[in-house]
Structures are given as structure tokens and as C-alpha cells.
Structure 1
């Protein structure tokens, strides 16, 4: 009997409810965890991460006859599997699904190489489904890689509920004593805009991003932390007054884990728009706030959020929207319906 597996780069518990939702009496999924996303400290850690992606994909490619369905929670495990299939011209025999798909062009000389590589992954007939966050992004990917829209599943992301385990954690000793706003995450963030827009906001801002190379530009209210990762992030989230997500490229689907964690933890959320995240998850003035990347408009909305009770209702609404739509179990059920 061939196996049905989920390849992830996190601990198995993170995708256990997704696995349960995908499984049925005649199709039992197994979780195969291969953690590649260690703390990024420089070029060597990046190379190690990429090397792990290829090594894991090669392992399952070499044993591909043992598997029926292979789902990539980490998209690159399945994409690189497709790459090997293409390079070696093997007969297609696996159903291959990449979840949480994003594509961001590289800069400089790497641009053409990365585009060629992604073409080998997506344009050679081996991938069965990609899961993306929005209809707009599906159209972009379909046109970029000549991929039929019926192979692209529009699927909101889902996370395990962190509230019970993490909402009551004590504040970190380094946290500002009288409250702070939190911005966290490394991918597709525009922290330069955020720091610039914070110039006239007299309130502490904590940025947690181990790959951000910028400075606080002499603003004593802006604190940049590069040594916090994983579960060490939760005390910062639990004790912040609000969370902000300044998105760099609005067409790219990234930042959803942070956003959904904020919703699940009953936090007031402010996100820059237009962006895929704001389109998919935030109903403006209902479960969060959206603002264009204009410094004056951003400043006004942040001050209203912090210095009045005008938007306090967003906290309960945020939690309710998470419970209704964005758990990992509901995500698994939607995938099962599509495939």
C-alpha cells in the first residue's frame, strides 16, 4: 500500500490537526518532519537551509515509488521533488501538492536562475496543485508559469490555536514597561517604512526580525531585536498592545502566520494595504485595520488605536474571526474537498 505523506519543516504537532482533517478511513496521512528553517544568521545558515531543502526532496524522490500523495507544507520540499522529476525525465507517479505557495523574484544575477528553476518545478507537468491565498495571486502565478487555474487552489492559511498555551505568559524582561506595539517576522516586511512612519509616534515599537539590517534611525522609541525566534516570540506577542504588519510587496502571500497568530491572541492588528493579507484575512474596521503606506495616514490611525478606546472592540472580533475561519483543522478540510 502506497503512503500519503505531509512534508513539513516544523515539529509534527504543528500540522497534526491538518493531517487529521486530510485523513479518512481509506487514506491515512503521515507527517514527515524535516526542520530546515533554523535561525538565519548569515550566508552559511542560508546555504544550509537550501541544502536541506534539496537533500530532503532528493530522499523522497529516490523513494517515490513508495508514495501516492505527497503534500508539501514546506512548499520547496514538493517543488524541488518536481524539479528532480523534470531534470531526470521520470514518469509521473505521485500526486504532488504544494501548500502555502509564494514566488518572489530574486535580484541581480540570481533572477534568471531562480525563474528557470521555478519553471522546471511548475511548467513540466509534475505538480498537481498549488495552494495560494487569493484569486488575484492565482491569476498572477497562472500567467507567470503558464499554469492552468484549475491547478491552483485558493485557500486561506490556518494555524493551531496558540491562545490557551501562550496568552497568559509573563512579559519578557527586556520589554518596555509601559506597553509597546509589536512588529514581527522576516519575510516581505517593509520595516524601513514602519520606522520612518514611527518618527512622530511617542510610544515604544518593538521589531523582531533576525534578518533586518536597518537601524532605528536614532528614534529611542524603536527597539530592534534580532535574537528572538520560535516560542520565545510568544511572550512578546501575548503582552503587546497591538501588532503592525508593514508589507513590502502586496502581491506576495507572506506574513499570514504572524497575522493569524495576532488574531487568535485577540490583538488589535494594523496592516498595510493593498496586500494579499489584507484582502484575505482582514475586514477593515471589523477584525482589524488596513491603511495605505502613507506616513501621515499611518500615524493618525496608530495614534487612534493606541490612545483611545475607539478600536478596542477589534480584539474580540479578531479572536472570533480566527475561530470561525482560520484554524488548521478547517484548512485541512478545505484541502481535502479540493483534491
Structure 2
């Protein structure tokens, strides 16, 4: 029997009504209403981020907050929206239960880090459920943000798996993404190698770095991201801070395309990859080790195919949008309604 709890599902993008994640929620709940908008993309510095992205979040959260009496549960796909809603709920009052999807809070020092920590702690005291994308984050956030209300629960990241009619084995390695990236180590690793490298990132990701002659960088062109990934020989996901959860989306997209992936060891990825089975893991900031892994995959077609095939299989089995949506519905029933 479906629950009669009314859910307002807020996204910072425009989802289709036939989206499989939404369908999984509607299998468990009679009323799941979408509220979405096109968020400004492509900021290259903190000023642009504040002026465009955060302004959008603030304006849309105010609109959402005005709807609070119509719904029993707010499900915030973008964590910032959930936190801002909780902030207003603490100040002005609201009986709406709050669920935040995929919260990521990197450790930061200094005054900014301290103030952000206080803000999040204040907001979370009004939040019933927070889902995270790694088991390591569950225990870490329980310690950092413990209160009598909030439950932290691990739900694996899920993606819409692309159809792949045939595996493409291109003539370049691809790397991309913007959060917690370590392009310095990647550039050091490929410098002087007889390999072509394509990178899609933002300008701040590579500021003040020496870019080797064999590296072609495109800035903020995320419309061609999947195409460049699909046509690559293999993919590298270089991560900077090993304790900061990041890289899941790019990793899983590459795996779904059947690509062998070289990825930096990271606490947030331990639930997704197994060394030599569905990925090649390298130590953080070890350009020599990364260089050897790149040379190995460049020369070894069979290893590329074996790892890529297992990677796609694992995504189809464990890391789909459909499964993620079903697990979210179960979590809401278990931790919010029960």
C-alpha cells in the first residue's frame, strides 16, 4: 500500500515526469510533486558562484518555503536547498519533514570553515534524514553533526546508464570534473609521454599549473563531456584530498561506458571500486605511480577491456538511478515516517 504522505521533490534542474528515480518514489508514495529550475552553470570563481549560483538557490528556496504547508516532506536533491529550507524552518517554523540528498561537507579550516560548520549544525537540527554517497561519510557526519533528530544514511550514487551499442577504444585518455581534482599530479604524470590527453575542467582547476604540450584543455564545456569520455581509450580521475568524498559521478559515467578507469584512492569511492577488478587505484599525489598506470593501460588492450567490462557490469547491477530512487523511498519510509 502506498503512503499518503505528500512529498515536494525539489531539484536544481528540470527533470522529466517519466524519470525513473521519480517513478521509484511514486511506487511508494501517492503524491510526489516536482519543483525544479535551471540553475546557472559555469562559474569560474567564488564571486561568480555567489552572484549567480547562490542567488538562485536563495530565491528558489524562498519560493519553496512558501509551499511548505501543502506537503508533509521536502526532499531536496541539492543539499544547499535543503539546508536553506531548514534554516528558514528553524527561524519561522514548519512542520514539514526535511530530507537532504547526498550531503557533502568537506573539512575546511579557518574562520570560513568554522562559520560554515556552525551554519550546517544549526540547520541540521531541523532535518530528519540526510543521505550520503559513501559509508565512510555516515560515521564521519554522525560525529561532526550529531543531534537528536538527524539520521545519516548511506545510499550508493546512481546514474542513468547510457546505452552502449559498441565499445569505443579511442586514441587518447580523458580526464574531467571540477570538485577536489588534482590536475597537477596528472600533468606531471603525462608530461613527455607519447599519449594524447583531453581534459574538461574549469579555469580555477588548472590555474597556475604548467600544462604539458600533449594535454588539450577545454574549459567548462560540459555539454561534450560524455562524448569525450565515450570515445576515450581510458579515463583518469585524479583526486586531491583523500578524505573528501568526490568523483563518484565521473567515475560511474566512465564505468558505464565500459571504460577502464585509473582513480586516486579516496574514502568516498571505497564503496564503488575494487583495485584491479573494476578500476586501477593509485595513491594520492604520486605522479610516478600514476604515470606507470597510464603506461600500462596504454599498452595493455586486454586489461583495458577486462576492467571496463567489469566496471559496466557493476554499474548496471549496483549503481543505477532506479536502484538509488528505490533506496531513497525505503529510507524515507524507515527513518521519516515510521
What is the TM-score with the length of structure 2 in the denominator?
0.88
Structure 2 residue 39 is the aligned partner of structure 1 residue 39 = no
SS at match of 1:12: coil
- Work out the CA distance in 1 between the residues paired with 2:87 and 2:116: 12
Structure 2 residue 180 is the aligned partner of structure 1 residue 188 = yes
- Work out the CA distance in 2 between the residues paired with 1:285 and 1:148: 42
Q: Deviations over 1:208-266 (max 9, x none)?
A: 1124243562521122211412x321221111111111112222222211111111111
* Aligned equivalent of 2:69: 65
Match of 1:114 among 91, 116, 133: 116
* Aligned equivalent of 2:313: 320
* Aligned equivalent of 2:282: 291
Distance 1:25 1:250, change over 3 A: closer
Q: Which runs of 5+ in 2 are unaligned?
A: 333-338
Q: Deviation at 1:145?
A: 1.1
Q: Deviation at 1:109?
A: 3.9
- Superposition pairs of residues 153-164 of structure 1, within 5 angstroms: 153-164=153-164
Match of 1:202 among 180, 189, 194: 194
Residues 158 and 326 in structure 1, CA contact (< 8 A), matched pair in contact too = yes
Q: Deviations over 1:275-330 (max 9, x none)?
A: 311x0111211111111122222211111111122412112111111111111001
Q: Which runs of 5+ in 1 are unaligned?
A: 172-177
More displaced stretch, 20-29 vs 239-248: 20-29
Distance 1:207 1:147, change over 3 A: farther
Count residues in correspondence.
Answer: 325
Residues 158 and 324 in structure 2, CA contact (< 8 A), matched pair in contact too = yes
- Superposition pairs of residues 1-339 of structure 1, within 5 angstroms: 3-13=6-16, 16-24=19-27, 26-47=29-50, 48-88=52-92, 90=93, 92-106=94-108, 108-122=110-124, 124=125, 126-147=126-147, 151-164=151-164, 179-210=171-202, 211-214=204-207, 217-229=210-222, 231-277=223-269, 279-293=270-284, 294-311=286-303, 312-339=305-332
Distance 1:234 1:99, change over 3 A: same
More displaced stretch, 310-319 vs 235-244: 310-319
Residues 244 and 266 in structure 2, CA contact (< 8 A), matched pair in contact too = no
Residues 174 and 199 in structure 2, CA contact (< 8 A), matched pair in contact too = yes
SS at match of 1:101: coil
- Work out the CA distance in 2 between the residues paired with 1:136 and 1:118: 19
Q: Deviation at 1:147?
A: 4.1
What root-mean-square deviation, in Å, do the aligned CA atoms of Structure 1 and Structure 2 show? 2.5
